[in-house]
Amino acid sequence: MFLNILIVLLLLTVPGARPAHTRARNWGHGSWTKHLIGRLSVVVAGSVLAALGADISANAAVNVTEHHNHDSRDGLYVDPAFTSVAAAGLKRDLTFTGNIKGNVYAQPLYIEGGPGGRAMIIAVTESNNVYALDAANGSVIWQCNVGVPVPLSKLLCGNVDPLGITGTPVVDLPSRSLFFDAMTTPDGGTTKRHLIYALNVDTGTTNSGWPVDVGATAQSGSTVFTSLAQGERGALVIVSNIVYVPYGGNSGDCSTYHGWLVGVPLNNPANVMAWATTANGGGSWGVGGVASDGASPFLVTGNTFGASGWSGGEAVIRFQIGPVFSGVTDDYWAPTNWSSLDSSDLDIGGSGALLVDVPGATPSKLVVSLGKDGNAYLLDRTHLGGIRAPLAQAHVSSSSIIQAAATYRTTLGTYVVFCGNGSQLSAFRITATAPPTITSVWTVAQNGKGSPFVTSTDGTNNVIVWGIGSENDQRLHGFNGDTGAVIFSGGGTNELMAGTRRFNTGIAARGRIYLANDNKVYAFTVPVAPILLTHPKMQPGDVFQFGFTNTPGMSFTAFGSTNASVRLTNWIKLGSVMEFSPGQFQFTDAPGSTSWRRFYRVSSP
């Protein structure tokens, strides 16, 4: 990304050669500077708007492998670049292309160590297109199509047209595999199939034994999976080497469908296990999908139809690995008015399970559920309790809550933030008491219906809640996590997006925010201080080394050329700049004796 670019040109002179002199225009300030260091001619220019680190430790990989960054679905991204001051200066990277084809409801992912060492943005669309984009410039690294999506006209009901890949995928880093569900048709819509895919995340090729045809393999008791009636909006999760995929119905609640949780072992996709609600309905359609504490999957379901007794709907359910539902009260919770919620179509599963730990509270390990009834429920996730009153309950929204929520902690306490009251962001605090309670703290306008996410420089400080003006002003908005005060108000003309969807959420990685919307992935970046060179030096064997100080976790790439005047696209990419200690960067190169000089350029990312 090159906006107000900082160019670092280091002219390496081989012993015995005549030192060359050059100069570089300071694009940031319009001045000229030159420093001579022995046989080295070093030219430094400008200021940079760049991508920064999302991890404090030096050389630590940064990966966003799933919805809202963690199994708990907290939506928290720790990134030293996102101070309040830096976030206020957020700008869209206009050089980031990010072109994709299809409507988007799923969150993008960020995976490092891709082809050529490049970081990748993974995006999926309702046209069943899958993309790996270069996280630096938005160009396509690889792309594939996994089948024809189903037109809405070939479905009994729904509001997504066409219906392809809707839920947010998940990446298993050890196997470098990308998992997602795609609705496909081989014959123009007559046959409908939900297929669970596994792709090599570095190449886009389909892994052996995949995809899994859910309709041909998933069964719960006597209930069989019918692709025509089922929708897959919720995010996937991996627990104990099993990928879990949630299913509900389609908008309109047509035909006979169930709430499903399907589990497929990563190394044995033929061994499919599944659970379904015993009554009709009870879909798990919340965008947050399946959550986990690292040991068990958690699922939230919606309303059932015609159930005379509780049959799996309107509930938070903890599963054993499989999925296997024990049926004991410790492993599920439903409100005492579940039947009334059923008849009123007020799903408590509108947002998905959010796992929250509150130090000092008794109990401290909690589940938060938010739904179409506008209520927030606090539950003891160790002992969910069956059909009973929750630990705490509060009416927090005048309208249905159907976006994914997020949670974070500051020095003032533990918060949950969500989209409520139509197009506002609201935050409440969970008290560290016995039992914990819900205290509303702030409500602000986000001018749309996006799902919030959160950044912090270290996990508790500089906490910023990010909202998206989905289907309204189509801008990012940033707010102070404690007060709701505006930090970033949406930017100018360049920061306007298009094609935002009401379930969309963003991610943060290395000083950038990425959002995937219809037909385009957008990248935003914070401004950073100029790079200041330290200790450029020649080493034995014509090895040249230079370093600089910048924000910990920042991503830099070094380029080389024998001609400083050629376009950057013609420079040779030499590799990533190493961060050998937090905030301390160093690059080492041995250009060889065939070239008596080499220019170096450092860009970010």
Judge whether 60 lies within some domain: no
The answer to whether residues 512 and 540 belong to one domain is: no
Residue keyed to tokens 């015995």? 16
Judge whether 472 lies within some domain: yes
Of 464, 495, 525, the last residue of a domain is: 525
The answer to whether residues 487 and 567 belong to one domain is: no
Of 498, 525, 552, the last residue of a domain is: 525
The answer to whether residues 13 and 142 belong to one domain is: no
**Which structural domain range is residue 451 located in?**
76-525
What's the domain count of the chain? 2
Q: Which residues pair with 403 in a beta bridge?
A: none
524 with 477: CB under 8 angstroms?
A: no
Q: Average pLDDT, whole number, for the chain?
A: 89
Judge whether 322 lies within some domain: yes
Question: Alpha-carbon distance 178 to 198, whole Å?
Answer: 5
User: Following DSSP, what letter does each residue of 202-252 receive, concatenated?
Assistant: TT-PBPTT--EEHHHH-EETTEE--GGG-B--SPPEEETTEEEEEEB--TT
The answer to whether residues 544 and 417 belong to one domain is: no
How sure is the predictor about 179, in pLDDT bands with cuts at 50, 70 and 90?
Answer: very high
- Residue whose C-alpha is closest to residue 533's, from 54, 86, 50, 46: 46
The answer to whether residues 80 and 48 belong to one domain is: no
Question: Alpha-carbon distance 119 to 64, whole Å?
Answer: 11
The answer to whether residues 450 and 570 belong to one domain is: no
The answer to whether residues 517 and 536 belong to one domain is: no
The answer to whether residues 487 and 539 belong to one domain is: no
Amino acid present at 322: G
Q: What are the pLDDT digits (tens) for 71-114?
A: 999 999 999 999 999 999 999 999 999 999 999 999 999 999 99
CATH number at residue 546: 2.60.40
pLDDT at 576: 82
469 with 447: CB under 8 angstroms?
A: yes
Task: Please tell me what DSSP assigns to residue 162.
Answer: S
- Tokens describing residue 578: 């190493």
The answer to whether residues 245 and 342 belong to one domain is: yes
The answer to whether residues 521 and 536 belong to one domain is: no
- Which burial class, exposed, middle or buried, applies to 226 when counting CB atoms under 10 A from its CB (0-12, 13-18, 19+)? middle
Task: Give, in order, the Cα–Cα distances in Å from 24 to each of 34, 47, 565, 590.
Answer: 8, 13, 10, 23
Judge whether 149 lies within some domain: yes
Q: What are the pLDDT digits (tens) for 363-415?
A: 999 999 999 999 999 999 999 999 999 999 999 999 999 999 999 999 999 99
Judge whether 161 lies within some domain: yes
CATH number at residue 514: 2.140.10.10
The answer to whether residues 434 and 337 belong to one domain is: yes
User: Following DSSP, what letter does each residue of 528-568 receive, concatenated?
Assistant: EPPPEEEEEEEETTTEEEEEEE-STT---EEEEES-TTS-G
Of 525, 560, 576, the last residue of a domain is: 525
User: How large a percentage of the chain has pLDDT more than 70?
Assistant: 89
How sure is the predictor about 7, in pLDDT bands with cuts at 50, 70 and 90?
Answer: very low
How sure is the predictor about 596, in pLDDT bands with cuts at 50, 70 and 90?
Answer: low
Residue 180 has pLDDT above 60, yes or no: yes
Residue 600 has pLDDT above 90, yes or no: no
The answer to whether residues 450 and 567 belong to one domain is: no
Which three-class secondary structure state does DSSP give residue 522?
A: strand
Q: What are the pLDDT digits (tens) for 264-274?
A: 999 999 999 99
pLDDT at 21: 31
Judge whether 69 lies within some domain: no
